[in-house]
Structure 1
Amino acid sequence: MDRVSIYEYDRKNRERVVKAIEEAGGQILSWSFFAKDQSKFELPPGTLSVFIDLSSLFYNEDRADALIAPAELLLNIIQQEQSVALYVIIERQYSKQVRDLLYYKIDEVLDLEDFLEIEKDPIQNIVDIDQSDFENVLAYLNQNLFGNELFKKRLKEELTKYRLFNRIGQQPIFSVLICGASGIGKTEVARLLHQKLAADEPMIKINFGNYSAQDALNSLIGSPRGYIGSNKGELPDKLMRSRSKVILIDEFEKASKAVYNFFLQLLEEGKFTDSLGREYDLDKYIIIFTSNMPKERIGEFLAPELRSRFSYKCAFWPLSTQEKEQYVAFKSEHYLEKIKHECPGLDSTLQASDIIDIDVSRYSNMRDINSEIMRQITDALYAQIVK
């Protein structure tokens, strides 16, 4: 029996794939284009090739098995059609499933981006960037993260070590556990790294404060198909939607024992499998874990074997009065500079020193200070804004 090759592509590259196909005189069509009558179909005039996308068959994973029959009919059409070049394509996360279901019809799975000669987007990660870019990332973090100078020094040392040992296959993931009170910059570490490495991508953030401990693992990686209330899992879903190589795991102390065991394996192997059997490789990822618990209590919820898996463990301390004042000066100037460029109709002569007056001793949470900076800027510009 003759078999057909299929071409897999990354969902995040779909726009570039469509553009490349159209520029080459091809058409990309969903399998549903053929669903009414698989024996007869007409293609747009001048079509040189057709790429039939099976991906939507698998969007509803509970029905995927039942819908495999139309896919088989499409493969039969491709074997018979001679007037135009036909190709079957599918999003990469579904290729294993279709290959398993139609093993007797599929010869091999090829890379569509390579076939179309698409230069893949350079995915910025902390390992593959050159030394000057690495220094720039750390300089950006140091400039925008106030206080905790020892952390910033140690982070550079640990990341330098990670860049070396990841390249020789010894450390797949760089993980940091940061504990300390709320609002002192823990989550800002992940945000700043993300902004330098993948600013245009959605940030990958999981907050265990939003989970119930009983069902946390299912919420994280999905529940088995057919379970009442089954879901795909927040982590796999966000990994598919973003090229960012930085993950923020917030309020980690609220996770369940099953979740701790999951991360115990993930940090060791650098890979995990979701509830539907799909494997995710997190090689070269940075995972920032935060906890609002003081470091003295970390042992109450994290077992020694999990604590030993973190690449770097540290505690953040509240900022000093001087550091808070430096933050106010930096942030207010930053906001006014952005307003000057983005809102040219507003007064561009305002100076932060003229309008910002904050008694930083009243605040321990940097989010509250930030809100006060924004309020005072708004008050100064209010008459112009309402016009």
Structure 2
Amino acid sequence: MSKLFFYTKNQFFNFKSDQTTAGFEFLSMSQLLSSQKINNLDVYQQYYIDISSMVGFVKANDSQLFNFEQLFNSFGENISFICDKAYEKDIKYIFRYIFDEFSDVETESDEITDEVQEIPATKSSSVKKITDLDDAELDLFFSNFDARLYGHERFKEEFKELVTSFRVFNKLGEHKILSLFLMGDSGVGKTEVARTIHKALGSQAKLAKINFGNYSSHDALNSLIGSPLGYIGSDGGELLKRVNESDVGLILIDEFEKADNAVFNYFLDVLENGKIVNSQADEYDVNGYIIVFTSNITKENFKSKISPELRSRFDYKGVFNLLTDEDKKKFVHFRVNQIIAKYREFVSADIPDRLHDVIVSEINVSQFKNMRDLNKKIKDTFVAHIKS
């Protein structure tokens, strides 16, 4: 008869200490599988294997359940299983055909000191989110956002309304994430929306960006949230890594339409619950975040490519059109000034006279539909004049 024991976080360290004294060795399932130790366990040694890390992964990858059921059958009688009681409800259902009996460990609770206290997966206290801003900070945010994003005036107004509503209902617990799905040709400013939000929030770190052009294969979800337990190199995945590197509540998902269906389904849960869960069952609270999804698909193809369930999760669905020549001229002035300022700060204050005006006069913005091409032209023109 297979049995699973549940412990609470206040019991774990006493339980481990008692059982280690009794001769047991403790391993986590992720540690055991990722290091390929499963076939090398000593049959004469008693083990406790903690399966807490499996919960989130199996929930997100139910197709792997068959493999895990077979795996459990291969363990000997010298193996006992434990799990954090926080996962009790999920465990009892997911592994209903694996364990015949469930029980709590019989250990007194211990005092959790600063040294052993669990560190929550979220670092929300150090992340600046749109929901945390006071009225003055919000006004400054929109002022910076409007100044940095050229064109798309209608979107700017709609974005303000979205943020205002989001901040209210997020505080009421009814709206976890503000999600924007931006469609349009490459280079019209979709990605720039996320970069502008990133800067307007005052970030000093990297933008948490994932390009889903790299997630079109059948095992795309494994790369995103971590490889299945047992695979060499299994880790927490790129998504949680990128989010942990950022200091603001913003995620950019580029080329979303290229992702695999499993990735689409994963984001259904993220947008609904406001949590990112990786293959190791690590959770990151993204409540209060803005997620910007960009796509090169047309408005006509939107319904055929994106499922109704996922479409209904997006708070804003909009098409970005080409900028007007006037907007492109404003961008050129801004970008040239920006490059000159950086050059003076990091390279040399010795630059040709009236460099800004000369560069601007040489660029015919009407020749450029793609803002990336226009930006490249600005850079090339700047370098040509610096060299001369």
1:148 Cα deviation from its structure 2 partner? 1.0
Q: Which position in structure 1 is the counterpart of 2:168?
A: 164
- Contact persistence 1:198–1:243 (CA under 8 A): no
- 2 CA distance for matches of 1:112 and 1:186? 45
- Contact persistence 1:340–1:348 (CA under 8 A): no
- 2 CA distance for matches of 1:311 and 1:250? 17
Aligned CA distance change for structure 1 residues 198 and 354 (closer, same or farther; 3 Å): closer
1:236 Cα deviation from its structure 2 partner? 1.7
Q: Which position in structure 1 is the counterpart of 2:271?
A: 267
Aligned CA distance change for structure 1 residues 298 and 3 (closer, same or farther; 3 Å): closer
Structure 2 counterpart SS, 1:172 = coil
Q: Which position in structure 2 is the counterpart of 1:250?
A: 254
- 1 CA distance for matches of 2:245 and 2:113? 22
Q: Which position in structure 2 is the counterpart of 1:371?
A: 376
Aligned CA distance change for structure 1 residues 157 and 108 (closer, same or farther; 3 Å): farther
- 2 CA distance for matches of 1:229 and 1:65? 14
1:329 aligns with 2:333: yes
- 1 CA distance for matches of 2:243 and 2:33? 18
1:62 aligns with 2:51: no
> More deviation in 318-327 or 329-338?
329-338
- How many percent identity over aligned positions? 39
1:62 Cα deviation from its structure 2 partner? 2.6
Q: Which position in structure 2 is the counterpart of 1:203?
A: 207
- 2 CA distance for matches of 1:340 and 1:310? 43
Alignment of 1:172-191 (within 5 A): 172-191=176-195
- CA RMSD in angstroms, aligned pairs only: 3.8
* TM-score, length of structure 2 as denominator length: 0.69
> More deviation in 355-364 or 367-376?
355-364
- 2 CA distance for matches of 1:108 and 1:172? 33
Q: Which position in structure 1 is the counterpart of 2:218?
A: 214
- 2 CA distance for matches of 1:343 and 1:369? 24
- Contact persistence 1:178–1:315 (CA under 8 A): yes
Q: Which position in structure 2 is the counterpart of 1:361?
A: 366
1:5 Cα deviation from its structure 2 partner? 6.7
1:223 Cα deviation from its structure 2 partner? 2.3
Q: Which position in structure 2 is the counterpart of 1:319?
A: 323
Code of the residue aligned with 2:110 in structure 1: it is: D
> More deviation in 356-365 or 172-181?
356-365
Structure 1 counterpart SS, 2:354 = coil
1:55-78 deviation line (CA, Å, top 9, x unaligned):
xxx999834999xxxxxxxxxxxx
- 1 CA distance for matches of 2:172 and 2:269? 20
- 2 CA distance for matches of 1:218 and 1:4? 30
* TM-score, length of structure 1 as denominator length: 0.69
1:381 aligns with 2:353: no
Q: Which position in structure 2 is the counterpart of 1:36?
A: none
Code of the residue aligned with 1:368 in structure 2: it is: D
- 2 CA distance for matches of 1:197 and 1:111? 32
Number of residue equivalences: 306
- 2 CA distance for matches of 1:295 and 1:353? 39
Which sections of structure 2, spanning at least 5 residues, go unmatched? 1-9, 15-29, 39-52, 57-81, 85-104, 119-123
- 1 CA distance for matches of 2:197 and 2:158? 15
Structure 2 counterpart SS, 1:259 = helix
- 1 CA distance for matches of 2:32 and 2:205? 25
1:228 Cα deviation from its structure 2 partner? 5.5
> More deviation in 120-129 or 150-159?
120-129
Alignment of 1:89-104 (within 5 A): none
- 2 CA distance for matches of 1:113 and 1:348? 60
1:180 Cα deviation from its structure 2 partner? 0.3
Q: Which position in structure 1 is the counterpart of 2:297?
A: 293
- 2 CA distance for matches of 1:251 and 1:221? 18
Equivalent in 107, 120, 144 of residue 110 of structure 2: 107
Structure 2 counterpart SS, 1:214 = coil
1:283 Cα deviation from its structure 2 partner? 0.5
- 1 CA distance for matches of 2:255 and 2:348? 40
1:139 aligns with 2:111: no
1:183-202 deviation line (CA, Å, top 9, x unaligned):
11111111111123252222
- 2 CA distance for matches of 1:361 and 1:213? 39
1:321 Cα deviation from its structure 2 partner? 1.5
Equivalent in 349, 354, 376 of residue 350 of structure 1: 354
Q: Which position in structure 2 is the counterpart of 1:284?
A: 288
Structure 2 counterpart SS, 1:280 = strand
1:229 Cα deviation from its structure 2 partner? 6.1
1:257 Cα deviation from its structure 2 partner? 1.2
- 2 CA distance for matches of 1:236 and 1:325? 38
- 1 CA distance for matches of 2:337 and 2:149? 15
Code of the residue aligned with 2:271 in structure 1: it is: L
- 1 CA distance for matches of 2:386 and 2:201? 34
- 2 CA distance for matches of 1:258 and 1:297? 20
- 1 CA distance for matches of 2:211 and 2:108? 43
Q: Which position in structure 2 is the counterpart of 1:233?
A: 237
- Contact persistence 2:130–2:288 (CA under 8 A): yes
- Contact persistence 1:328–1:373 (CA under 8 A): yes
> More deviation in 251-260 or 239-248?
239-248
1:139 Cα deviation from its structure 2 partner? 1.5
Aligned CA distance change for structure 1 residues 274 and 3 (closer, same or farther; 3 Å): closer
Q: Which position in structure 1 is the counterpart of 2:44?
A: none
Q: Which position in structure 1 is the counterpart of 2:128?
A: 124
- Contact persistence 1:336–1:350 (CA under 8 A): no
Q: Which position in structure 1 is the counterpart of 2:78?
A: none
- 1 CA distance for matches of 2:198 and 2:251? 8
